[in-house]
Amino acid sequence: MVTPNMLKKYSDKLCVLYAEDNATVLKMTRDFLAKYFDNVDTALNGQEALEKYDPNKHDIVIADINMPIMNGIELSRRILETKPDQTIFITSAHNDSDYLFNLISLGITNYMMKPLNNDKLTTNLYKAAKKIAHEREMREVLDIIHNSDNLGTSVQSINSVIDSLANLSTKKEPHSVELRDAINKLEQVKNHLTQLRSLVDAGR
C-alpha cells in the first residue's frame, strides 16, 4: 500500500493542473492535492484549463471528462499537441466505452472513476510522480555528461563538474537500470576528470 509519505517523497516539487466543473469536488480534491504537491492550479472547465496550462510548469494534469465549454477529451488532445509526453489523468462518474476508446486513441490510460478514492488516487499519483522524478534525474545525468564533453581545462570548471557528479552519484536510491548505468558512466567521467585535475595541480 502506498503511504502519503511515499507520495510526498516524489511529489513535493511537482505542479498539478486540475480541471473539474463541480466546485465542491474541485475544492475537496484540490485541498487533498495541496498536501503533497508544490503547486496546484485549478480550472472549472476545459477551456479555462487550457488557458492556464503551461507545458514547462505542469507536471501532471487531472481533468474531468464531462465539463462545459471544453470536455476532458478535447482538453487532453489539445495539451498533447503541445506536449506529447504530458502525464494526464482523466476522471469520470461514468464508465462509458466510447469515452474510453477516445482516450485510448489519444494514448491516455490513466482513467479514474468518481467519486475519487483517496487511497487509489494516492497510488496512481505516486506512480506518476515517481516516473517523473526518475525522468528528471535522467535528464540531469545527461546534462552533466553533455557538459563534461565540452569541458575546458580550467581547474574551476573541472572542480565544478566533479562536484556535480559526486552529488548525483551519492544519491541513496538509483531508481532504474538506466539511471544506474548512467551513474556508472558518470563515475568513469569523474575518475577521468580527477586525473585531469591532478595533472593541472602538478603543473602549477
**What would the pLDDT profile of 82-125 be if each residue is shown by its tens digit?**
999 999 999 987 766 666 767 767 777 688 888 888 898 999 99
Radius of gyration (C-alpha) of the chain in whole angstroms: 22
Share of the chain above pLDDT 90, in %: 40
* Number of Cβ atoms within 10 Å of the Cβ of 147: 13
Query: What pLDDT does residue 175 have?
Result: 52
The better pLDDT of the pair 16, 140 is held by: 16
Please give the Cα distance from 18 to 46 (Å, whole number).
10
Residues 151-161, mean pLDDT to the nearest whole number = 50
Q: Residue 129: is its pLDDT beyond 60?
A: yes
> Which residues pair with residue 43 across a beta bridge?
19
CA distances from 107 to 60, 82, 112, 171, 180 (A): 15, 14, 15, 33, 29
- Per the model's pLDDT, the better-predicted residue between 161 and 66 turns out to be 66
| pLDDT for the residue 136 | 80
- CA neighbor of 20 nearest in space, from 109, 121, 128: 121
User: Which of the four pLDDT bands, split at 50, 70 and 90, describes residue 135?
Assistant: confident
Q: Output the pTM of the full model.
A: 0.72
Residue 162 grid cell: 566533479
